Structure 1
């Protein structure tokens, strides 16, 4: 019989998942979800504001040599938030920052960014620049939102994890309780147009 990951009587926050040493699939299995990595077909917006993307790219290049980007706070301020703000300005989207969620003893804490239109997108920053460990945390947050908004919602829930320079997307098939991680990553600012196209596509079409 496999060893249980969660200890009885202990309360777990989302940040605890980052510290877990077990593979993501084992953690999710204990929460009742399956997990796999594959090439995802992510929705893409047909039209995006090219002027805003170009302005964001130019602003980043102008500041990159003048601002120290060695801390998580700096990357959040100069690399992550501007991307999300660009999307929010051009769409009917609600951006929630440090969104609190409390489902049960296994799923509670705050989500870095929760974007809501007709669809929902979770975005988190990977602590210590570790996408692999951070993905378990993203997965837990996606499951928490799945359970929090369990009625009358689209069958797909999207998430993204980033270290600032790199983004990776995920998709939760809610009826099947199956979480899929994209095998591909996107770079900032090199892939900025594709990144914004996907973010816009998720929030517009789901």
Structure 2
């Protein structure tokens, strides 16, 4: 029998899962998954990435002016530009 972690009567947004007072392992088990920490080796590209230096410069130049105290700030300032570059190079 599964642990009662979520209520069938409630609807949960992605952000709601982070507000739950529950161990990550228990939440994963509830959905039939497990968590383990291990070192992995990811594939690396041999393609030239000419825009990478500009991205790094822009991030470093603006970092002193951005407060990184919220997840939204980190996501929008750091992750969004990187993801846009990934899209550029993969499509």
TM-score (norm 1): 0.38
Instruction: Point out which structure has higher relative CO (alpha carbons under 8 A, 6+ apart).
Output: 1
Give 1:69's match in structure 2, choosing from 61, 67, 72.
67
Correspondence for 2:82: 83
Correspondence for 1:44: 44
User: Do residues 24 (structure 1) and 33 (structure 2) align?
Assistant: no
CA–CA distance in 1 between the matches of 2:3 and 2:63? 47
RMSD: 2.2
CA–CA distance in 2 between the matches of 1:60 and 1:82? 9
| 1:40/1:72 CA distance change after superposition, 3 Å | same
Correspondence for 2:8: 8
Q: Give the length in aligned residue pairs.
A: 90
CA–CA distance in 2 between the matches of 1:10 and 1:44? 42
Q: Is the Cα–Cα contact under 8 Å of residues 25 and 36 in structure 1 kept in the other structure?
A: no
Q: Where does the alignment leave 5 or more consecutive residues of structure 1 unmatched? A: 93-206
When Rg is computed on C-alpha atoms for both structures, the one with the higher figure is 2
How do residues 113-192 of structure 1 correspond to structure 2 at under 5 angstroms?
none
CA–CA distance in 2 between the matches of 1:5 and 1:73? 26
| 1:4/1:87 CA distance change after superposition, 3 Å | same
Write out the 4+ residue segments of structure 1 that deviate beyond 6 Å after TM superposition: none
Return the offset for 1:82. Answer: 1.2
CA–CA distance in 2 between the matches of 1:26 and 1:80? 28
| 1:75/1:33 CA distance change after superposition, 3 Å | closer
Return the offset for 1:39. Answer: 1.1
CA–CA distance in 2 between the matches of 1:20 and 1:61? 34
Q: Where does the alignment leave 5 or more consecutive residues of structure 2 unmatched? A: none
Return the offset for 1:17. Answer: 0.9
Higher helix share: 2
